[in-house]
Structure 1
């Protein structure tokens, strides 16, 4: 099956189909669960639409800790079923579904007190046993102080008494979510980002579709569907308001903040996971950087642009510095990002204790709501949502097949292992460095050939970006021609990670990339300059918000920047 490109032309065709075709299933929200639901429904042979108000993975699904993991904290709740389910999904992702986007990563759980070893050792030991054969090496090791510091040289030997080494899975969440959407499109789904749902269409009590607005053109139109799935995460309650009913559960937003620092500031062969009084603290290797997180605090402000405050940053620095011989300072931070976890809260006793587990409900006929859960178990959530949505079809005599996604690798996955084994020969043939080939394979898998075709037509695209040399110019162009990016922020914050990986947070790259993609997106000279300025103001507002003492002031400061997906910044 030939891969469908998410290009400006394919988006226009998808919007036209959404206007004119009655769908079996329309999914609202292209985070990981929504994109996964669209893929699940499309691979069952259904007529499927997927609409997203902003960009693929623009919310929670681009701002996670970037791990496929079982959830150590659930062992404390004796929730073995949830842990086992997550570990099974981790194996599927790493070995079958997306090995080009996910990989095993070793971690150390440091012992800070004598009592830690029997307590943590038992828990991680159970975790390791449950995860045996689950996609990562099963090599649990207890390390003494000397061996721990040998593996983690930046660890303070006065604090770190030893450690337990084990493995987790890592994933580029935004690329993975986008690839789910693109794979869904390849299986026939009509996929459109920048398409906001503004209302539900009803026939009596039954939901029969939605009203949407194309945020790029301003055009509004109806989409008709036999079933609608609301997979909007922290925006779930907004759709509930359109229904006019509270439903069995509501979603509470919890903010998680992460810092990004250069790799050379912390010397360690492994990641580190430890516990604070409020949450787990991760120190995660991320190419040439470390990701340090996370916080866990209620968030009651803007959902599209959650802001990290000075208090959040100070909290993370304080706790990570407990472990380090050379403390980190604000000057070490090159990037900061904040995401919102969609935690379930009960509206009745029957849905208490939902926590991070997901729930599926149908508050009115024609509408299915899925919420909660965790990134690792997105596929199970998607399956459950589609199962619930197609129940009326089966009851009416239809025979909708069961979920097939456990056997459907994402685009770029098939042939990846062979391609990676042959990377040195490929590098020699292409006259590229082995590191460049590994970089491309790790982001695109066997779809790397599509980028090579663009380079063949325009050899200058093989050059690195001057302001972000970890990426090639072709990657910015490909983000628009094949991956659905419509704005500079899509390219800089999700298709690449330039916005959190370079000290200027992508301002230089914005000016460098804009002329490359403007002709493809049809931008005038004025619109190109507006895109660059909008990104600059976004960065400025984010930096200033991170100096504010608390959430209200951080939120107000972040919202001072124009939103590229409104008309407020456009010239008239």
Structure 2
């Protein structure tokens, strides 16, 4: 156990908190941050890793909700546009970057040229065309941005800006900001039972990883932000409660590099969905599906039919030779949490749902990465705590700041320097500090990727990583590049044990 984890575990055992937040994805971590900023004593726990489920299984877009226009969710689109601008401009500019998007509609597709063109213009009009890059573009212009774009059957191309983020790192930054405000945060810590005691603080039983045992955490209020497990946590308060959420699986594929792409691509497909192809970490990310999921959230995985569907839908706009199965480096599945309702998950509205249980547990189901700050505020306003009366959104920047390549030592491999700057910003210098403690800190973990051993040591010592999966999937790019081999995983396990 690292000193960071040991200190958090000890604090959970000794203190009574104003608020316990169960679930540390992007929404739960922001709830903890906003509550601490309002002066509450907060504990934040997650049965898995911080951002280890839906929050790191997204399309990596902070988007204004273009696909929600046909659903009539104009309020959600307007709010999403506002939050995208805030995150890109001053809240998290080091984590959310401009990503131009080309909308391509094809003959015989579900969206005709007139509707597609009108949709792009309406999208821009909802935010007054401020910072949207909205317009129509010809086939040649579109191909300059997306060189692989097929033009046969192309009827119209629209252009607009969205934001792109490393979703896992946005969660880590939010958790770090919450910890800076005094939040006690612990991942791989499962709430197994809650005892509600009238007139006295409730007690949550929290079990840690192997060898850490069980602690009892006292609290006045509790928020259930457990994502796909929201109904499971609700049953800790009321074993007979009816479910409030249904799940939808979204699958993404990572393909070989497409460095010449200067924009992402979206193509309308059936059921009101869009297929996407987006440059990501020097690769091309394809997505996404939207199918009902009824199993154990922990067992969600990518099937052969999922892969076939994503590749087939991408082939509407991209040539088949770049969409071969052997080009797929990595695949992942995330679960969307949607309110219970009729119809397909693809047609379901994306509004979030906040409910309060018989003993005061406030549960949040659904929502979007883009609007996570607004959702956090909505949740906190449901808690009868004087310190939260009149709570308003904190518009401060997250603590990390962007750094430039010119600040690095000249003896660092330029590819590694660019990689570290893009991931950590000025925090890269803290990562580079691992050179003082580990002789192999600047060695590449895998020769075909930019990740170095300093990142693995930093992940364990400073970013709460406790498992090999924490390191390869969310704190490095080893997994998404298809480089997390058995040999690499074994060496990382050794590194984790050495740090511990």
CA distance in 2, matches of 1:245, 1:515: 42
Q: 1:131 to 1:285 in 2, by over 3 A?
A: farther
CA distance in 2, matches of 1:76, 1:212: 44
Of 271, 274, 284, the match for 2:264: 271
Q: Please, which moves more after superposition, 15-24 or 433-442? A: 433-442
Secondary structure in 2 matching 1:120: helix
Asked whether 1:411 is paired with 2:371, we answer no
Task: Give the structure-1-normalised TM-score.
Answer: 0.81
User: If each structure's helix is expressed as a fraction of its own residues, which one has the higher value?
Assistant: 1
CA distance in 1, matches of 2:69, 2:223: 31
CA distance in 2, matches of 1:95, 1:247: 42
Shift of 1:435: 4.3
Residues 381 and 388, structure 2, Cα contact 8 Å, conserved in 1: no
CA distance in 2, matches of 1:493, 1:378: 22
Shift of 1:507: 3.0
Q: Please, which moves more after superposition, 353-362 or 45-54? A: 353-362
Q: 1:207 to 1:252 in 2, by over 3 A?
A: farther
Report 1:389-538 matches (<5 A): 389=383, 392-394=384-386, 402-407=391-396, 409-413=397-401, 416=402, 419-420=403-404, 423-424=405-406, 426-427=407-408, 429-502=409-482, 504-521=483-500
Asked whether 1:120 is paired with 2:116, we answer yes
CA distance in 1, matches of 2:85, 2:235: 38
Aligned to 2:338: 343
CA distance in 1, matches of 2:438, 2:207: 36
CA distance in 2, matches of 1:341, 1:83: 18
Shift of 1:132: 5.0
Residues 205 and 214, structure 2, Cα contact 8 Å, conserved in 1: yes
CA distance in 2, matches of 1:97, 1:442: 17
Residues 488 and 514, structure 1, Cα contact 8 Å, conserved in 2: yes
Shift of 1:127: 1.3
Secondary structure in 1 matching 2:398: coil
Shift of 1:61: 0.6
| Corresponding pairs, count | 492
Residues 105 and 271, structure 1, Cα contact 8 Å, conserved in 2: yes
CA distance in 2, matches of 1:17, 1:25: 14
Aligned to 2:308: 314
Q: 1:116 to 1:505 in 2, by over 3 A?
A: farther
CA distance in 2, matches of 1:301, 1:393: 36
Residues 44 and 404, structure 1, Cα contact 8 Å, conserved in 2: no
Q: 1:507 to 1:94 in 2, by over 3 A?
A: farther
CA distance in 2, matches of 1:144, 1:73: 22
Aligned to 1:94: 88
Aligned to 1:280: 274
Shift of 1:17: 1.3
- Unpaired runs of at least 5, structure 2: none
Aligned to 1:172: 166
Shift of 1:142: 1.5
CA distance in 2, matches of 1:132, 1:484: 42
CA distance in 2, matches of 1:132, 1:456: 51
Report 1:20-419 matches (<5 A): 20-113=14-107, 116-132=112-128, 137-204=131-198, 208-244=202-238, 250-264=244-258, 268-278=261-271, 279-327=273-321, 328-345=323-340, 355-389=349-383, 392-394=384-386, 402-407=391-396, 409-413=397-401, 416=402, 419=403
Residues 35 and 380, structure 2, Cα contact 8 Å, conserved in 1: yes
Residues 53 and 193, structure 1, Cα contact 8 Å, conserved in 2: yes
Q: Please, which moves more after superposition, 202-211 or 149-158? A: 202-211
Secondary structure in 2 matching 1:158: coil
CA distance in 1, matches of 2:338, 2:201: 25
Aligned to 1:569: none
Secondary structure in 1 matching 2:299: coil
CA distance in 2, matches of 1:202, 1:346: 31
Residues 73 and 349, structure 2, Cα contact 8 Å, conserved in 1: no
Please give the per-residue CA displacement for 1:357-409, whole angstroms capped at 9, x wherever unaligned: 112221123311111111111111111112212xx222xxx5756234222x2
CA distance in 2, matches of 1:430, 1:36: 38
Please give the per-residue CA displacement for 1:516-541, whole angstroms capped at 9, x wherever unaligned: 332112xxxxxxxxxxxxxxxxxxxx
Residues 228 and 367, structure 1, Cα contact 8 Å, conserved in 2: yes
Aligned to 1:553: none
Shift of 1:20: 1.5
CA RMSD in angstroms, aligned pairs only = 2.4
Shift of 1:154: 1.7
Shift of 1:505: 4.0
Aligned to 1:350: none
Q: 1:434 to 1:97 in 2, by over 3 A?
A: farther
CA distance in 2, matches of 1:405, 1:133: 25
Please give the per-residue CA displacement for 1:14-54, whole angstroms capped at 9, x wherever unaligned: 11111111100000011111111111111111100001101
Shift of 1:107: 1.2
Shift of 1:191: 0.6
CA distance in 2, matches of 1:56, 1:399: 25
Secondary structure in 1 matching 2:337: strand
Q: 1:123 to 1:133 in 2, by over 3 A?
A: closer
